[in-house]
Chain A
Amino acid sequence: MANPRALDKRRKSVRNIRKITRTMELIATARFKQAMDRAHAATAYTDRMKKLLHDLTRTGLEVTHPLLEPRETTHRGILLVLSSNRGLCGGYNGNLLRRAQARWEDFGQSVPQRELEVSGKRGLSFFKHRQQPVQEAFTHFEDKPRFDEVEVLANRYLNDYATGQLDRLDIAYTKFRSSARQEATVETLLPLGSMEEGLPEVDDQTAPAGRAESQYEFLPSAAQILEEVIPTSFKIRLFKCFLDAAVSEQIARMVAMKSATENADDLIRSLSRTYNRARQAQITGELLEVMGGVEALKE
Chain B
Amino acid sequence: MQGFFYKMNELLKELYQEIILDHGKEPRNFGECETHNKSAHGHNPLCGDKVSLTLFIDDDDFIKDIKFSGEGCAISVASASLMTEKLKGKKLSYAENMFKDFTDLVKGSEDSLSTIDEDDSLYALKGVKDFPMRVKCATLAWHTFKNALKD
Real binding pair: no
Where the two chains meet, the residues of B that have a C-beta atom closer than 8 Å to any C-beta of A are: none
Where the two chains meet, the residues of A that have a C-beta atom closer than 8 Å to any C-beta of B are: none
